[in-house]
Chain A
Amino acid sequence: MTTARRAVLTGFGVISPVGSGPAAFWAAVRAGTPGVRTITHLDPSHLPSRMAGEVRDFSAKALIDKGYRRTLNAMARTVEFGVIGCQLAMADAGLGKGAVAPERIGVEFASVMGATELDDLGPASRLSIRPGEAAPDMPAWGRDGLEQVPPLWMLKYLPNMPACHATILYDIQGPSNTQIPGDTAGPVALGEALRILRRGAADVMLVGGSEAKVHPLSLSRFNLFAQFSRRNDDPEGAIRPFDRDRDGTAPGEGVAAFTLEGLDHALARKATIYGEVLAVAGGVDRGLTGAGLARVIRNALAAAGVQPGDVDHVNAHGTGTTRGDAFEARGVAEVFGRSVPVFAPLSRFGNLGAASGLMELGCSVLALKHGELPGTLNHAAPDPACPVAVHTGPPRPAARPCAVKLSYTDLGQCSAVVIRKWEG
């Protein structure tokens, strides 16, 4: 066994389509509350896929640190989610500003470039398209349009802004990095935070991910290239992980953030511990064969010193896409066969992109903590192309101490996280 510094999760901040805060989130996940519904943030009638996991009661203004409220005008929704998620995680961990020496706390955030608010560029665009023309008149844009763009426009959307605001709000002067590899960004952030703690460069790392895909520009784009479900008459049943009748995924929005803390530091301050992060491994499965994902899972288990028999469940990304689920199932089956049940929480809240990995991980952290594994929503008809045993139905007791969380992108970037229940 390794003598590496141990790291534990001590705070959890979450805003999701099925509930916000660890208690409400767990209650909804446990109950199987569906969060994918017909889109209401905008009229979706012109989109081929009209469903999403929306957060409908979110007000950054109500939640943000009062001294920081004026900065909201420089935050897109994805940044707002990120900043509020960080606040919730820090509060849940009992860590106020200054509670940790500034140079001993850092941040790793999973993010994307936010999509521009339409109204930020609308007036400039109107001044730059001549009647009957398709292409913009560039001199008109430079002369008349450009000055219609809000001065802080670019800053509202930069991927590193959630981390930036978090460092300012909590006087975080340790390492600050922003991970962007798509749906693996959250686990990648967690893995880097773990390395930072283990090399002694910090005692506490704020680790989060946020994304707000339910946005007219994002939806326009994803509908053109992503496999989104067309089951518009049944939004709650639209995402069907590893199911024979799956026809695509749906987007979601929100944030999940944790504090990851050196065990020594957490014990010294008598922090409440959610669970232990044993290992994070990453790698690429070129061509999505499953062999690369299996290798990444094995590397993670080896680094964690965990046998397949210690694993209560595999928390799959389970996006409900035809190719993605088959690929992921092949990778899981190569390592575990059908011996370890698969739990895919994404069908509850949609694919949250940069927030997906940590949001989904949160489900397993809470499942091990509460000793109950909820069922996968919308898995009814097994698919021979997905040779895994998917756990469905009511919660069953969590029988074993560890869980493995998987994430991947369609280019085959994969990550695997191994966590263990905290026994105290």
Chain B
Amino acid sequence: MRRRVVVTGMGVITPLGHTVADLFASQAEGRTAVGPITRFDARTFPTTFASEVKGFDLARYVRDAGRYEHCGLNTHFALAAGKQAVEDAGLADPGKGDRSRMGVYLGSGEGSDEFPALVRGLAHALPDGAPKVDAAEFTKVMQVWMDGPREGEQEMYTPAGHLAAAFALDGPNQACQTACAASSQALGEALEIIRAGDADVMVAGGSHSMIHPLGVTGFNRLTALSQRNDSPRTASRPFDATRDGFVIGEGAGLVVLEELEHAKRRKATIYAELTGYGTTADAYRMTDPHPQGRGAIRAMADALADANLKPADVGYINAHGTSTQANDSTETAAIKAVFGDLAKKVPISSSKSMLGHLIAAAGVVELVISVVALRKGVVPPTINYANPDPACDLDYVPNQAREVRFRHVLSNSFGFGGQNVALIASRFVD
């Protein structure tokens, strides 16, 4: 028999709450966190708003917060969400259990370049009239202007490494970056690590912030972001005909995944069972999804097969629902292809309508919302839904949460680069 894997702890840092309870309450009430960018002066950017984490203080979560002063928000958010998750699971005491059987799998965003120093160095090394930046001159001034300790904490492995150290998680330590699918892929592959017997507990999820000048610049140049600057709060409008791009968000989510017998032996609270995982590649383009959603279709179908379920068993779909033209119509078509006539009956909603898009952290935060929805029998809405789009003609639970009892939830995540992930969480039945 395959090893079963359950969720025994959850933690989040999001624009809509720094606890799972606050996050879900905000989602159920249809609140939004989107507002003007405060992290830097973005008044002249094509997009001036985002979904920011506010009022965050690392010292509330870790005793030695000063130790992480040079780290980026990706590490800070991960530590805070990780602390909540391991405490929630009753695994915060580093002397408890075999820590070498407990690992980390983080879908983590990159650290960020130190924007002021970088821009200053580049401008200095590119005097008026020069055709190219003088690389040698650049290296010379950067040795003075760049902050070494800070740079040393911006490596791709930094957040996952600190998570392991802070919470004594000595088992397999992985970090992946598949853009907007990253934390869902981390959850899925962490599930497989436990199934394969390589660990008993995986603290898995993601952490990311791209609300910095280069992040917003990059997405603006790709014209991926909504530019509804006169109405930020209604800018994230998944499946609405007038949607014009996603809203950039930030945050972290971490989930304690645990082998069932291990969880039972220590009498852990079981929130749900992670029953299905499907992962595919579109093999199509760098940013656009395959027009028929072929990768998304197979990811959902594979997750159903993995969970040994039929489409009729799924009572709620937490959509990727980014509020871009391409994603929302393609995802709709893919759901129809998998669910057939049932597609119109299953409630579908996008957490991003309220949260914005947490990029690498999006998938795990949406899985947490899905698990709470499963337990409470409440499906959060898709807010800002006003104008039906003929290409998006399913039940998106517009604007009002709905009470629905269901046993299985499907959560989709698709990323730039063509990675597709579908996860299924199920009400736990022994």
Residues of A within 8 A of B (CB): 42-48, 71, 74, 102-103, 106-107, 111-113, 116, 118-119, 121-126, 128-129, 134-136, 138-143, 146, 149-155, 158-161, 163-165, 167-168, 170-182, 184-185, 188, 192, 195-196, 198-199, 201, 216-217, 219-221, 223-226, 281-286, 292, 295, 354, 409, 411-413
B336 at the interface (CB under 8 A from A): no
Instruction: Please report the C-alpha to C-alpha distance between residue A409 and residue B104 in the assembled complex, in whole angstroms.
Output: 15
In the complex, given contacts A154-B221, A155-B416, what are 4 additional A-B residue pairs having Cβ atoms less than 8 angstroms apart? A123-B126, A184-B173, A216-B139, A286-B164
Give the one of A154, A184, A284 with max B CB within 10 A.
A284
What secondary structure prevails in chain B residues at the interface with A? Answer: mixed
Residue from B115, B122, B178 within 8 A of A178 (CB atoms): B178
Among B190-198, B260-268, B350-358, B378-386, the stretch in contact with A: B190-198
Report the minimum CB–CB distance from A190 to chain B (whole Å). 12
B408 at the interface (CB under 8 A from A): no
Q: Is the CB of B157 within 8 A of A409?
A: yes
Among B19-27, B147-155, B238-246, B321-329, the stretch in contact with A: B147-155
Binary per-residue interface labels of chain B (121-159) against chain A in the complex, 1 for a CB within 8 Å, 0 otherwise: 111111010001101111110110011110110111110
| Given A116-B113, A139-B44, A154-B221, residue A177 in contact with residue B139 (CB < 8 A) | no
Binary per-residue interface labels of chain B (267-294) against chain A in the complex, 1 for a CB within 8 Å, 0 otherwise: 0000000000001111111110000001
Q: Is the CB of A134 within 8 A of B118?
A: no
Q: Is the CB of A199 within 8 A of B196?
A: yes
List the A side residues contacting B135 at CB < 8 Å. 42-43, 118, 216
B1 at the interface (CB under 8 A from A): no
List the A side residues contacting B126 at CB < 8 Å. 122-123, 125-126
Residues of B within 8 A of A (CB): 40-46, 100, 103-104, 108, 110, 113, 115-116, 118-126, 128, 132-133, 135-140, 142-143, 146-149, 151-152, 154-158, 160-162, 164-165, 168-179, 185, 189, 192-193, 195-196, 198, 213-214, 217-222, 279-287, 294-295, 298, 415-419
* B186 nearest in chain A by CB position: A177
Q: Is the CB of A167 within 8 A of B175?
A: no
Q: Is the CB of A181 within 8 A of B173?
A: yes
Q: Is the CB of A164 within 8 A of B286?
A: yes
List the A side residues contacting B121 at CB < 8 Å. 125, 220
Q: Is the CB of B280 within 8 A of A173?
A: yes
Instruction: Please report the C-alpha to C-alpha distance between residue A43 and residue B151 in the assembled complex, in whole angstroms.
Output: 22
List the B side residues contacting A125 at CB < 8 Å. 118-123, 126
Pairs of residues from A and B, 8 with the lowest C-beta to C-beta distance, nearest first: A411-B161, A154-B218, A224-B148, A225-B152, A142-B44, A46-B140, A182-B157, A125-B122
Report the minimum CB–CB distance from B72 to chain A (whole Å). 12
Residue from A113, A139, A220, A224 within 8 A of B156 (CB atoms): A113
Instruction: Please report the C-alpha to C-alpha distance between residue A142 and residue B44 in the assembled complex, in whole angstroms.
Output: 5
* B137 nearest in chain A by CB position: A46
Q: Is the CB of B176 within 8 A of A178?
A: yes
| Given A158-B416, A160-B417, A181-B156, residue A224 in contact with residue B151 (CB < 8 A) | yes
List the A side residues contacting B128 at CB < 8 Å. 126
Q: Is the CB of B161 within 8 A of A173?
A: no
Instruction: Please report the C-alpha to C-alpha distance between residue A180 and residue B154 in the assembled complex, in whole angstroms.
Output: 12
Report the minimum CB–CB distance from B274 to chain A (whole Å). 15
Instruction: Please report the C-alpha to C-alpha distance between residue A135 and residue B138 in the assembled complex, in whole angstroms.
Output: 16
Instruction: Please report the C-alpha to C-alpha distance between residue A142 and residue B37 in the assembled complex, in whole angstroms.
Output: 13
Report the minimum CB–CB distance from A210 to chain B (whole Å). 13
Report the minimum CB–CB distance from A217 to chain B (whole Å). 8
List the A side residues contacting B419 at CB < 8 Å. 160, 176-177
Can you show 25 pairs from A to B with CB atoms below 8 A apart? A42-B139, A44-B139, A45-B136, A119-B133, A123-B126, A139-B44, A150-B221, A158-B417, A159-B177, A160-B419, A163-B417, A164-B417, A176-B281, A176-B419, A179-B174, A180-B175, A180-B176, A220-B121, A224-B146, A224-B151, A282-B173, A283-B170, A284-B170, A411-B157, A412-B165
